[in-house]
């Protein structure tokens, strides 16, 4: 089978190969909400401080390429708090089958890394002896990369599924099977489109290429995300997820729940366990399925 797991090296087009083991520690634990300033001033100890912007970027990529990235946080996986568990649907299915066959939890320390997260790592590159790829060029921006624990143990279960090893990088696997599409260009394009939507008088080239202008704009973007969010046009389905959903849509939901008399202590725009509980109670009161998932039915009832 052409897409079977093997140790055969494939050509990597990365300009910089990052040591995955060193980088995942930045994705281990998350604060409650994003840093409230600009990306350039964001503390660099943990990439989850740009969660708000990261959420917008991932959503925008899916507007460019529908279903390019789906979350696998509903599988039996253990995730770092700032790791975005997103891969193409076919890659998720392959993971699901492997996890079911082996019957144990898959530990994923790093997966999709957003342009904003890579910017933080890149801004800190001089304090670090390890190489850091420019935003948009890391293989973790392809949407096809995972860093997992016990890679050797998972190998037999991923055999023939399209997942391949990256030699000399012990935790890293890449999806190269059906439906694999390298999203590095779209990763940059998504940011450029969002920037332009929010800065109609300071537009930049939306060419999907990394350059000084894009770098400067990303550094001058709010870590919590832009005022005009991609879900303003096409509502996002809200739920308790990893990393926690954050944004203007979550804040609006919380405010409405509070007005309706549900216990939301702070409308902080972060969909945590308190919001999940309030949504479930609301759904139960309205005779809806109390699954905590805010789709169009629940939205209609709350609005």
User: Which residues in this chain contact Zn ion in the complex, by CB under 5 A?
Assistant: 20, 147, 172
List Cα–Cα distances, 285 to 141, 281, 289, in angstroms. 42, 6, 10
Shortest spacing between CB 44 and Zn ion, in angstroms? 19
CB 158 within 8 A of CB 173: yes
Residue closer to Zn ion (CB basis): 51 or 138: 138
Pick the closer one to Zn ion by CB: 145 or 278: 145
Rounded to an integer, what distance in angstroms lies between the CA atom of residue 105 and that of residue 198? 41
Q: Closest CB to Zn ion among 172 and 239?
A: 172
CB of 145 to Zn ion, least distance (A): 5
* Closer residue to Zn ion in complex, CB, 16/64: 16
Q: Among candidates 44, 84, 63, which has minimal Cα distance to 194? A: 63
Nearer to Zn ion, 68 or 166 (CB): 166
| Closest CB to Zn ion: residue number | 20
Q: For residue 233, with 0-12 CB atoms within 10 Å meaning exposed, 13-18 middle and 19 or more buried, which class applies?
A: exposed
Instruction: In angstroms, give the least distance from the CB of 124 to Zn ion.
Output: 18
Q: CA-CA distance, 24 to 137, in Å (whole number)?
A: 17
For Zn ion, the closer CB: 147 or 186:
147
Shortest spacing between CB 286 and Zn ion, in angstroms = 44
Distance in angstroms (rounded) separating the CA atoms of residues 261 and 144: 43
Residue written as token pair 């109390």 = 290
CB of 188 to Zn ion, least distance (A): 19
Query: What DSSP letter does each residue of 31-89 carry, written as one string?
Result: -SS--SSBGGGS-SS-GGGGHHHHHHHHHHHHHHSTTS-EE-TTSSEEE-TT-B-EE-H
């Amino acid at each position: 089978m052409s897409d079977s797991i093997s140790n055969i090296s494939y050509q990597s087009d990365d300009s910089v190969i990052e040591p995955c083991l060193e980088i995942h520690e930045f994705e281990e634990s998350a604060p409650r909400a994003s840093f409230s300033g600009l990306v350039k001033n964001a503390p660099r100890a943990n990439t989850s401080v740009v969660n708000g912007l990261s959420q917008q970027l991932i959503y925008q990529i899916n507007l460019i390429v529908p279903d390019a990235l789906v979350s696998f946080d509903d599988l039996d996986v253990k995730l770092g708090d700032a790791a975005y568990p997103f891969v193409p649907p076919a890659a998720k299915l392959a993971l699901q089958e492997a996890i079911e066959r082996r019957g144990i939890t898959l530990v994923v320390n790093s997966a999709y890394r957003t342009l904003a997260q890579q910017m933080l790592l890149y801004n800190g590159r001089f304090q670090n002896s390890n190489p850091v790829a420019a935003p948009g060029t890391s293989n973790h921006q392809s949407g096809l990369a995972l860093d997992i624990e016990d890679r050797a143990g998972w190998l037999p279960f991923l055999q023939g599924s399209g997942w391949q090893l990256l030699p000399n990088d012990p935790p890293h696997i890449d999806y190269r099977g059906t439906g694999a599409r390298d999203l590095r260009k779209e990763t940059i394009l998504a940011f450029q489109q969002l920037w332009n939507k929010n800065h109609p008088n300071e537009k930049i080239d939306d060419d999907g290429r990394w350059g000084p202008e894009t770098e400067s704009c990303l550094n001058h973007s709010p870590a919590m995300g832009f005022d005009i969010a991609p879900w303003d046009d096409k509502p996002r389905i809200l739920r308790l997820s990893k990393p926690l959903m954050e944004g203007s849509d979550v804040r609006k939901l919380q405010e409405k729940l509070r007005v309706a008399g549900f216990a939301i202590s702070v409308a902080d725009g972060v969909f945590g366990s308190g919001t999940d509980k309030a949504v479930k109670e609301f759904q139960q009161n309205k005779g809806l399925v109390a699954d905590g998932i805010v789709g169009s039915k629940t939205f209609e009832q709350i609005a």
